[in-house]
Amino acid sequence: MKLIRELTNPGQLAWGITREVGASILAYELYPLAVLGNSLPALPVLWTKTESHRRPILLIHGIFHNKSAFFYLKQKLALKGWHHFRELDLLTSVYGISRLAERVKTEVERLREEYETDQIDIVAHSMGGIVARYYLQKLGGDGVAKNLITLGTPHRGTDWSKYSVLPHIRDLHPKSPLLKELNELPPPAKTRVVSVAGKLDVMLLPRQTPQWPGVRFIELENMGHAGLLFSKRVAQIITSHFDD
């Protein structure tokens, strides 16, 4: 495989695969916690830095996942002084991207009112990044979101989507009208966007799919799809961009 040839150190490849398997198992084990309907807690304020960050962070999960996806990253952000989080539980098995983006828009407005702020930040994983893009590019979210960081998002589509029996999941195919429309639109002018992906992410095929034209792209070695959600490096990228 081309991917294996690119990773010249077999030890690094083995460690990356092991870490990805562990992250996938952990994501599965955490999933039932969010089914209960409660937001997974971040570390208490008394255990973390004094809060110095006002903008709330909206967390958008991917296909067939729930808000438990961000448990680890919430703890890392809380340790750095963020304490205003909002996670969405999106019915990705029922609703399409445009409908889910409307939900995002509604939640953003609630956050702005609740925290009396003009802007929020967004972290989105997998298909959640496409939902966030739709909000920014078609629903007026450009600039309302100060920052958007997508993790393992198939910005140019993924070939895996063609095997789905759900029509709205096939919107993630590289040749889908929805992705074609989004990619023909200019990238956000007011929201700072970063696309982060892992070299071991087998969900992103072809390999260039996480690259959003005109947007900064960061590719991490020995990292897979689930591993992005449990990565210290990803947490560092988020805090470095949100800390302004």
Which residues are within 8 A (CB) of 192 and not within 5 positions of it... i.e. 6 or more apart?
146, 147, 148, 241
Q: Domain 2-242 belongs to what architecture? A: 3-Layer(aba) Sandwich (3.40)
pLDDT-wise least confident of 3-12, 165-174, 212-221: 3-12
Encoded tokens for 204: 């992103």
Nearest to 112 by CA among 154, 140, 81, 138: 140
**pLDDT, tens only, 90-128:** 888 888 999 999 999 999 999 999 999 999 999 999 999
Average pLDDT along the chain:
85
Tell me the residue type at 198.
Answer: G
Do residues 43 and 72 lie in contact, with contact meaning Cβ atoms separated by under 8 Å? no
What SS3 state is found at 171? helix
Task: Please answer whether residues 126 and 65 qualify as being in contact, where contact means their C-beta atoms are separated by less than 8 angstroms.
Answer: yes
Which range has the worst mean pLDDT, 11-25, 26-40, 43-57, 179-193? 26-40
What are the boundaries of each domain within the chain?
2-242
For 52-56, 116-120, 170-174, which range has the lowest pLDDT when averaged over its residues?
A: 52-56
Q: Which pLDDT does position 4 carry in this prediction?
A: 44
Pick the closest to residue 55 from 105, 102, 114 (CA basis).
114
Residue 105 vs residue 5, higher pLDDT: 105
